[in-house]
Amino acid sequence: MWGGDDKDELIGMPYWIMLKPGEDVRSIAASMFEKKYWEGELVAMRKDGEEVYVYVYAGMVEDEQGKPVQTISSFVDITEQKQTEEEKIRMEQQLQLAGRLAAVGELAAGVAHELNNPIAAVQAFAQFLVERQDIDKQVRSDVETIFKESQRASKITSNLLSFARRHKPQKEMISINEVVEKSLELHAYRLKANNIEVVMELDSNLPRTLADFHQLEQVFVNIITNAEQAMTEAHGKGILCIETLHRGNRVRIIFRDDGPGIAKENLKQLFDPFFTTKAVGKGTGLGLSICFGIIHDHNGYIYADSATGKGATFTVEIPVVSEEKHRSSGPKT
């Protein structure tokens, strides 16, 4: 369980060498002396640094005078069980969110279509007025403001239509690593200009999978943009780590930043439509909702882990699907 090469590496060592730093060893010891027994879940650390969930049973052994002389403990690896439970909870949460987003999406599509025509008219007439030579400087400035704000409104309706998109992903066999690299290329100038260092750990043996390249690129760019903005606003620089892994039948893409983090109370709302922590005028609250919808359409998951002051980690999981598997699961005639 510890991942050592020989049992002699552990003989004579304190038991907490196997525990993740931060586990409350003192309270466990206090309970042992008080109750002569302790059991519960802990997080252990393998020799290579990998975390392992364990269930610990520990009992105090006393001598004939009732004095404690030693403890006997057993560590049971429950990592697989915990991961299964977490996966189930995650699936339930994402299914509930998908249902809410579908309902909001229907409303958003109708609103966006109704607004598009009047917004287009405002833009056209504003542009027409700006081009006239018989208006004074102040009026021209006001009309330019109207035109600029109508463009912003147009972008919002465009985001609404993206959020309520009617088309299915255009899937083909792609390399997830290539999508990550392309997404970074699109954002390279801003990252460099804002002193953001990018650290990549891409699995060279990552299998290709059936997915929509441009939709995944949209998801990754959105996450990268949010991380860049958060780190820049917090301390004018930062480190963005991007990792790809192959786990079972899934590809996992992990984005870690050292920004200000996300408050615990906001984590559950991150993917809700129109939820944003940005200042008024700097975000519509649709970006992550659109990302959620795209990943859901790919039968995957997207979730975040963070705490205030400790940066944020966004994880995207995409199933590995071959063309043969996709064809075999299609409709039969």
CA distance 111 to 191: 35
As a whole number of angstroms, the distance between CA 153 and CA 222 comes to: 20
CATH code of the domain containing 254: 3.30.565.10
Q: In this structure, what CATH number is given to the domain that contains residue 49? A: 3.30.450.20
User: HSE-up of 104 (CA within 13 Å, CB side)?
Assistant: 18
- Listed residues 77, 101, 131: the one ending a domain: 77
The last residue of one of the domains, among 166, 183, 212, is: 166
Q: How many domains does the chain have?
A: 3
For residues 278 and 263, state if they share a domain: yes
Same domain? 89 vs 46: no
Determine phi and psi for 304, rounding to 5 degrees: -125, 150
Q: What is the pLDDT of residue 160?
A: 60
pTM of the model: 0.54
Whether 2 is covered by a domain: the verdict is no
Q: Which positions ≥6 away from 278 have C-beta within 8 Å?
A: 229
**Which residues in 292-326 are b (16+ Cβ under 10 Å) and which e?**
bbbbbbbebbbbbebeeeebbbbbbbbbbbeeeee
Are 44 and 151 in the same domain? no
Residue 294 and residue 223 share a domain: yes
267 shares a domain with 287: yes
| Sequential pLDDT tens for the chain (333 residues) | 778 888 888 888 877 777 887 777 777 777 777 778 788 888 888 888 788 888 888 888 887 877 877 788 888 888 888 777 777 776 666 666 666 656 666 666 666 667 777 888 888 888 888 888 888 888 888 888 888 888 777 766 666 665 555 456 678 999 999 999 999 988 888 898 899 999 999 999 999 999 989 889 889 988 998 899 889 988 889 999 999 999 889 999 999 999 988 888 787 777 776 656 655 445 555 678 888 888 888 989 899 888 778 899 999 999 998 766 555 555 544
Closest C-alpha to 312, from 216, 240, 211: 240
Give me the pLDDT at residue 103, please: 60
DSSP 258-276: -SS---HHHHTTTTSTT--
Q: What is the pLDDT of residue 61?
A: 82
β-strand 238-247 against 196-202: which pairing, if any? parallel
Cβ atoms of residues 212 and 168 within 8 Å: no
State the residue range of the domain holding 40.
7-77
Phi, psi of 121 (to 5 degrees): -65, -45
Residue 280 has a pLDDT of 46
Do 47 and 112 reside in the same domain of the chain? no
Residue among 37, 50, 42 at smallest CA distance from 4? 50
